[in-house]
C-alpha cells in the first residue's frame, strides 16, 4: 500500500500518475463515490487509487460520536485493503489531504475532522509500505 499525502492542489494526483505508468482504477469521494465502491470499481490488472478521505471521514463523524470508534473503523479498513492488495498482487494507493497545517478551525466539528483526519493519516502511514509527501508539485519519499 502506498500513501500520497499533501496539501490541497499540491500535485498529489500528478505524483500518482508519475509513479504509476500502469492502468489505475480510481475511486474518489470528490465524484460522490462511497468508500465501499472500491470493491466494484477495482478492475483486474490495475492499481486502485482512493482519494477524498476527508469527505469519507466527515461522513463517519456525522454518524458516530466516538472518535476512537471512527479511528478503529478506518484502521480496520486499511488492514482489509492490505489483505486484498496481497491477494490480487496489485497496489493500492491512498491519496490523503494534509489538514494539519495552517489555521486551527474555530468550529468544533471542523477541529474534530482535522484531529481524526490526522490520526487516520498516521495509521495509513504506519500500514503503508511507501509514503510520499507532496508540496508545490514536488514529492519526497518519507518511507
Domain borders along the chain are 2-141
* Residue 65: per-residue pLDDT: 87
Fold category of 2-141 in CATH: Rossmann fold (3.40.50)
Q: List the alpha helices (DSSP H) in 20-66.
A: 38-41, 53-63
* Residue 34: per-residue pLDDT: 93
* Residue 93: per-residue pLDDT: 98
Q: Express each pLDDT in 50-98 by its tens digit.
A: 999 999 999 998 888 899 999 999 999 999 999 999 999 999 999 999 9
* Residue 101: per-residue pLDDT: 79
Nearest CA to 56 among 75, 79, 36? Answer: 36
Decide if pLDDT at 130 tops 90: yes
Burial 56-76 (b: 16+ CB within 10 A, else e): bbbebbeeeeeeeebbeebbe
Amino acid at each position: 500500500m502506498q500513501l500520497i499525502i499533501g496539501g490541497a492542489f499540491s500535485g498529489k494526483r500528478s505524483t500518482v500518475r508519475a509513479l504509476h505508468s500502469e492502468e489505475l482504477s480510481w475511486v474518489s469521494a470528490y465524484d460522490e463515490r462511497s468508500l465501499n465502491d472500491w470493491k466494484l470499481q477495482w478492475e483486474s490488472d490495475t492499481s486502485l487509487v482512493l482519494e477524498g478521505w476527508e469527505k469519507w471521514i466527515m461522513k463517519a463523524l456525522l454518524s458516530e460520536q466516538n472518535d476512537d470508534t471512527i479511528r478503529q473503523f478506518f484502521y480496520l479498513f486499511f488492514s482489509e485493503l492490505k489483505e486484498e492488495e496481497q491477494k490480487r498482487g496489485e497496489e493500492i494507493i491512498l491519496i490523503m489531504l494534509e489538514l494539519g497545517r495552517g489555521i486551527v478551525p474555530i468550529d468544533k466539528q471542523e477541529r474534530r475532522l482535522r484531529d481524526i483526519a490526522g490520526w487516520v493519516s498516521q495509521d495509513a502511514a504506519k500500514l503503508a509500505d511507501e509514503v510520499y509527501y507532496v508540496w508545490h508539485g514536488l514529492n519526497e519519499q518519507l518511507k
